[in-house]
Structure 1
Amino acid sequence: MKRLNIKNADIGIMRKELEMAIEGQYSYDGAGVKLRRIFGGQNAARYTDPFLLLDNFGSKDPKDYEKGFPWHPHRGIETVTYILEGKVKHRDSTGVSGVIGSGELQWMTAGSGIFHEEMPQVEKEGNSGLQLWVNLPKEHKMTQPKYRNLKDKNMPAVTDSYGNRIKVIAGRRADAIGLISDLSIPISYYVVDMKKDSQFVQDIPEGHTAIAYVLKGRLGVEKGTEIEEGSAAIYKRSGDSVAVSTGIETAKFMLISGKPLNEPVAWYGPIVMNYKQELVKAYEELENGTFIKESADVQDL
């Protein structure tokens, strides 16, 4: 491992220490979309709570993504889709439809139930993006579904003293406040373009989960440890900030943080509830046609 310098001498600052570094594994999902799964599953959720799953899909070859993610349900979670290149068409069973373009994000609260499809479009530049699943707390599992569509041009952004550019999707950085703000639990989501030989520090509350995922380049995530493209750093919850650094090359990464729910997780396929009987009821409703409770609210930001 190349040693990268991360200063930790700030008076009164308690950096979150690295819990583990993980490398995404290639897999297939949907109707045959090739993707890199960074984390997912109930075992991982012990460390990533309130986050359940993170996938990075992307390819120049249409065969790797053109079959997409045909009709499927969700309940009890939020899916956050951020498109890096290309376009994804989306529609649900109640008639809501749209396109998520390059640099755009959709924060979908499935709540009581969404039945939808997400279909990457064949583009000359290829198609790539991220999808994050966020668990909903027990009292919000059956809330009204909602779409928040965020355009790239409307994402607040700031530049720090190193010249690093930080897009704020949710949370706050200096005077930039993310437009995704009506969430059921405190969550932050940043996309950071870092200069070479630079550092980045972000305040994250004590007790909150923090995860950094590298989209490009290499990132120093703890003194003496770096991770590369396709890998993530999961931090311990004690401490009130995260610090990362770059060496001789630039880097791009996403940083997410959130307050753990510490609730039971009953998970089968695209539905995540608290107890097994709630899962059984959800799949019975899929069979008898009573799964969708109400149409989704749509908010364009």
Structure 2
Amino acid sequence: MTERIVERLIRGERASDGDGVRLRRSLGQGPFARLDPFLMLDEFQADDSGGRIGGFPPHPHRGFETVTYMLAGSMHHRDSLGNSGLIGPGGVQWMTAAGGIVHSEMPELREGRMRGFQLWINLPAADKMKAPRYQDIQAERVPEYPFEGGRVRVIAGEIELEGNTLVGPVSGVATAPTYLDLILAPGSELTLPIETGRNAMLYVYDGEVSAGDDGFSPVSAGHAGLLSRGDEVRLRAGQDGAGLLLLAATPVKESVAQHGPFVMNTREEIEQAIRDYQEGRFEREDVALS
């Protein structure tokens, strides 16, 4: 077995997006802060002391997938296909923008808090212009498994743990992603297989964690750690424990042309996406988002 280690750290940078949503952006700060097929990862949060939390009013996407996962608070989704959904803590909204969609995501505090993540996942060229799709996944559909030293929630993918096969509720995704939310008790360890040939990373949102024996560890909260090649990862929590996302997927291995919310393969395709949006081809006339 070849153990994966952290070979690159990306510090999450404070930013604001949408209608004034405060967030910390790790992947997606620029074209070199990516890990194929993962394009962007934001952590957003607010509480009663922060006043207005804003949201993400109607905006377009084409050529990739957006994944919103909540730890606290709620998120409302509406889109130009007529889909709508409301998720609370532990829920997931998985939107395959593909050929083009306009959507809005508006957060709400619950018990004075709101916290979650948005991940962008690229699509291969063969899937970029397919029909859009939306998956509304409530918390009770996400398998959660406690083990000695922590617990895991499986949002997407399949893992083997202590003789159990855990399968996430998300299906039909081109890059076959694995998306895990892990809580590790102080000093605990967990080893998980990650298939060779898949790119993998972790994002620590609470505490700190080490991945194998490498010079970058421990990875502290607010940092993404891009993992080396291998077929397993050994995680070890710091003295205060750790909360982290573990992500892995099949790389697309294609050129990336991005302009804001459009991710295609060429500049010409980006220009076409802009024209299509400006001429109203992303929206159905009978669906209003406001």
Report the TM-score when normalising by structure 2.
0.91
Which one of the candidate residues 184, 189, 212 is aligned to 2:174? 184
- Corresponding position: 1:43 with 2:32: yes
Question: 2:279 — aligned with what?
Answer: 288
1:273-298, CA deviations, whole angstroms, 9 ceiling, x for partnerless residues?
A: 11111111111111112234899xxx
* Paired letter, 1:203: P
Q: Distance in 2 between matches of 1:30 and 1:53?
A: 15
The total of aligned residue pairs comes to 280
- Corresponding position: 1:239 with 2:230: yes
1:96-129, CA deviations, whole angstroms, 9 ceiling, x for partnerless residues?
A: 2121211101111011111011111244422110
**1:260 and 1:64, CA in 2 relative to 1: closer, same or farther beyond 3 A?**
farther
Question: 1:5 — aligned with what?
Answer: none
- Corresponding position: 1:269 with 2:264: no
**1:153 and 1:73, CA in 2 relative to 1: closer, same or farther beyond 3 A?**
same
**1:198 and 1:90, CA in 2 relative to 1: closer, same or farther beyond 3 A?**
same
**1:29 and 1:65, CA in 2 relative to 1: closer, same or farther beyond 3 A?**
farther
Identity over aligned residues, as a percent? 39
Which one of the candidate residues 2, 12, 25 is aligned to 2:13? 25
Contact kept in structure 1, 2:186 and 2:240, CA below 8 Å: yes
Unaligned runs of 5+ in 2: none
Question: 2:91 — aligned with what?
Answer: 104
- Corresponding position: 1:165 with 2:154: no
Q: Distance in 1 between matches of 2:76 and 2:238?
A: 38
**1:62 and 1:68, CA in 2 relative to 1: closer, same or farther beyond 3 A?**
farther
Q: Distance in 2 between matches of 1:267 and 1:57?
A: 22
1:18-49, CA deviations, whole angstroms, 9 ceiling, x for partnerless residues?
A: 2112221100111211100011032123xx10
Quote the RMSD (CA, aligned, Å): 2.0
For residues 31-70 of structure 1, what are the structure 2 equivalents within 5 Å? 31-40=19-28, 41-45=30-34, 48-61=35-48, 63=50, 66-70=53-57
Question: 1:299 — aligned with what?
Answer: none
SS in 1 for 2:140: helix
- Corresponding position: 1:14 with 2:2: yes
Q: Distance in 2 between matches of 1:281 and 1:21?
A: 35
Contact kept in structure 2, 1:218 and 1:228, CA below 8 Å: yes
Contact kept in structure 1, 2:81 and 2:284, CA below 8 Å: no
Q: Distance in 2 between matches of 1:49 and 1:94?
A: 28
Q: Distance in 2 between matches of 1:220 and 1:17?
A: 9
Q: Distance in 2 between matches of 1:278 and 1:157?
A: 41
Question: CA offset at residue 64 of structure 1?
Answer: 6.5
For residues 202-221 of structure 1, what are the structure 2 equivalents within 5 Å? 202-221=192-211
SS in 2 for 1:277: helix
**1:71 and 1:63, CA in 2 relative to 1: closer, same or farther beyond 3 A?**
farther
SS in 2 for 1:248: strand
Q: Distance in 2 between matches of 1:159 and 1:124?
A: 25
Question: CA offset at residue 159 of structure 1?
Answer: 3.1
Query: Which is richer in strand?
Result: 2
For residues 146-157 of structure 1, what are the structure 2 equivalents within 5 Å? 146-157=133-144
Contact kept in structure 1, 2:46 and 2:53, CA below 8 Å: no
SS in 1 for 2:253: coil
Question: 2:222 — aligned with what?
Answer: 230
1:113-150, CA deviations, whole angstroms, 9 ceiling, x for partnerless residues?
A: 11011111244422110000000010000111111111
Report the TM-score when normalising by structure 1.
0.88
SS in 1 for 2:219: strand
Contact kept in structure 1, 2:255 and 2:265, CA below 8 Å: yes
SS in 1 for 2:4: coil
* Paired letter, 1:164: G
Question: 2:79 — aligned with what?
Answer: 92
Unaligned runs of 5+ in 1: 1-12, 296-301
Contact kept in structure 2, 1:18 and 1:233, CA below 8 Å: yes
